[in-house]
Amino acid sequence: MKLNQITICYYSPTHTSKKIAQSIADGLQIARRREIDLTTDTSTSPISIQDSICIVAVPVYGGLVAPVAAQRIRRIKAINSVVIPVVVYGNRDYEDALIQLRDMLQEQGFVPFCGAAFIGEHSYSRPEMPIAENRPDDEDLKMAEDFGKKALGVLLQHININEKENLNATDFSLSHQKTLEELLPPLNVKGNKPYKTLRTPTPQAPVVDESCYGCGDCIDWCPTKAISMVEGHSTTRIDLCTKCCACVKFCPIGARTFETPYTAMLHEKCKERRTPEIFF
């Protein structure tokens, strides 16, 4: 049996989880690399991952894995693969999201060997009321890369390969005789079981002003296909909107806004800089 590539898998409407996952992969320094972006992939067909060191990164929603991300991750079927579960939260708290993601990935056939919680700019953040603005920043990405380097060292230790410098990244292969479950100790992470209960979300969606000229970019960004064009302007179906606010953050002319009292509350209560947490 062997591990012979990195697989990066993420759900990342505003690109924060994607940036963290890619930086961790950079730290692993393995050239054979596959990337799976589940953000706008609404397919239901299975995704097979085999003989891989995998990084799965998702955003937190209300202290749990974002429901759409959870739904799409369940398409993955892993064979002889280890995984690094990573959650990215908006400077409030990740609560039970990381332990939930760990358990979910185990159910899909992965063997978790380390995990992490990083910080990304909150989807409700606004220029006048920032919440973890511009995160992950350079410091976060450096920590993610360092985490990847350490993760590879830990993995090599567990499968009894001590000469890291002899590995050829362009023809990467780690052989192991025992199963990964036998080689790797259980991963303990922060969180509670049973997981917290997600409250019923308030039906709401970004609104569009008259400056919208119908470029249609937001249709491509929306992970749930909630946006369509009506009479030359974009409009959002409230029942499909997950409030990721990708359409707000990326609109080239600022024609989309999302107003909620939670922005002011989070801006006031979550000012202190949170630092990433890693688990081995």
Q: Does 108 lie in the same domain as 57?
A: yes
Least Cα distance to 276 among 107, 127, 150 occurs for: 150
Same structural domain for residues 214 and 168?
no
Tell me whether residue 267 is in a domain. no
Taking phi over 0 as left and psi of -120 to 50 as alpha, with beta for the rest, 240 belongs to: alpha
Shared domain check, 251 and 151: no
**Domain, as residue range, for 232:** 207-259
Q: What would the pLDDT profile of 68-81 be if each residue is shown by its tens digit?
A: 999 999 999 999 99
Instruction: Encode pLDDT of 242-267 as tens digits.
Output: 999 999 999 999 999 999 999 999 99
Of 202 and 75, more confident: 75
Q: At CA 15, angle to CA 18 and CA 8, rounded to 5?
A: 15
Any bridge partners for residue 76, and if so which? Answer: 47
Structure tokens at 122: 């909150």
Model confidence pLDDT, tens digit, residues 57-67: 999 999 999 99
* C-alpha span between 118 and 21 (Å, rounded): 10
Q: Are residues 8 and 57 in the same domain?
A: yes
Q: How many domains, in total, are found in the chain? A: 2
In the block, residue with structure tokens 């060191």? 53
Are residue 140 and residue 215 in the same domain, yes or no? no
Does 67 reside within a domain?
Answer: yes
Q: Identify the three-state secondary structure at position 27.
A: helix
Check if the beta carbon of residue 99 is closer than 8 Å to that of residue 192.
yes
At residue 163, the pLDDT reads 53
Q: How far apart are CA 50 and CA 36, in angstroms?
A: 14
Q: In terms of domains, do 118 and 231 share one?
A: no
Please check whether residues 172 and 241 belong to one and the same domain: no
**Vertex 23 angle, CA 245 and 198, to 5°:** 40
Predicted confidence band of residue 173 (pLDDT cuts 50, 70, 90) = confident
182/219 same-domain check: no
Are 142 and 243 contained in the same domain? no
| 174 part of a folded domain | yes
**CATH number for position 249:** 3.30.70.20
pTM of the full structure:
0.95
pLDDT score at 22:
98
Are 11 and 38 within one domain?
yes
Say whether both 146 and 215 belong to one domain.
no
Report yes or no: 1 and 181 within 8 Å, Cβ to Cβ.
no
Judge whether 81 lies within some domain: yes
